[in-house]
Amino acid sequence: MAPYDPSAHPPFAVTVDLVVLTVRRHTLCALAVRRGEPPYQGRWALPGGFVRPDEDLMEAACRELAEETGLRAQPPASTAAAGPSGPYGTDGAHLEQLATYGDPKRDPRMRVVSVAYLVLAPDLPAPRAGGDARSARWAPVTDLLRGEEGTDDEQRAPLAFDHALILADGVERARSKIEYSSLATAFCPSEFTVGELRRVYEAVWGVALDPRNFHRKVTGTPGFLVPAGGTTTRQGGRPAQLFRAGGATLLNPPMLRPEV
């Protein structure tokens, strides 16, 4: 480390940005908020905000998540406040650090370093608009990521700042992580069927999976699913068994993503 010189610290602002993903209507969606002030006024952006002076990064992410979605997110009492080690459950949603973005020009106002967090949530009620009357919406990630083509529809404008890059990184993380972990259950309500879980994989990966092989795989992996007791017919067709997420977090061998 360079010799310590207190005057040597340029003024950095530190923010957290959230990539909040969910699956709605068989589509992978992300939470977007409309910016109320410059720069990028009126454009869609990822939710986020400044980290407070005495707040841990994950604490700040939890706070922003609660403000935007109403998901209760109390920081873990004492465990590893600093590190990214270990995901952190918030009311069934999954939260983990994604990456940090610090291009000197990423914010025209000043030097901002942003720590992005990834949240995987079950299908939530309509997003809360937040106290400051900003509008928020769930948007398919494909729409948010190909906002480049200029179009009259302001819903199609590219995301503010470098948020398209952050979102793309978050989506890629989610896609690869459900391969070798049981994280896909974070997209499901507390009780769900094998078919619902399969539709999560299909939406996140954008592929069709064989229902029979999928069923064999997830029910055959110890600790992945535990029977919840009942059945449901909410998807139509023959009643399906309800399951809860089991204790296992790592899938070994992993769920194989079909080659495109």
Residues forming the site for DNA (CB under 7 A) = 193-196, 198, 210-213, 215-217, 219-220, 231, 233, 235-241, 253, 255-256, 258
- Is the CB of residue 76 less than 8 Å from the CB of residue 56? no
Select the binding partner of residue 212 from a second copy, DNA, none (C-beta < 5 to 8 A, by kind): DNA
> What's the rounded Cα separation, in Å, for the pair 58 and 61?
5
Whichever of 9 and 238 has its CB closer to DNA, that residue is 238
- Is the CB of residue 218 less than 8 Å from the CB of residue 210? no
String marking each residue 188-227 x if it binds a second copy according to CB under 8 A:
----------------------------------------
Strand partners, 243: 192, 227
Region from 104-112, 139-147, 208-216, 237-245 binding a second copy, contact rule CB under 8 A: 104-112
Region from 52-60, 119-127, 218-226, 229-237 binding a second copy, contact rule CB under 8 A: 52-60
Torsion on CA atoms 188, 156, 173, 70, rounded to nearest 10: -40
Q: Strands 112-120 and 93-101, how do they pair?
A: antiparallel
Shortest reach from residue 75's CB to a second copy, in Å: 11
Select the binding partner of residue 111 from DNA, a second copy, none (C-beta < 5 to 8 A, by kind): a second copy
Residue with tokens 């106290």: 131
Residue 260: C-alpha distances to residues 99, 206, 209 (Å): 26, 9, 12
Shortest reach from residue 27's CB to a second copy, in Å: 23
- Residue 185 DSSP code: G
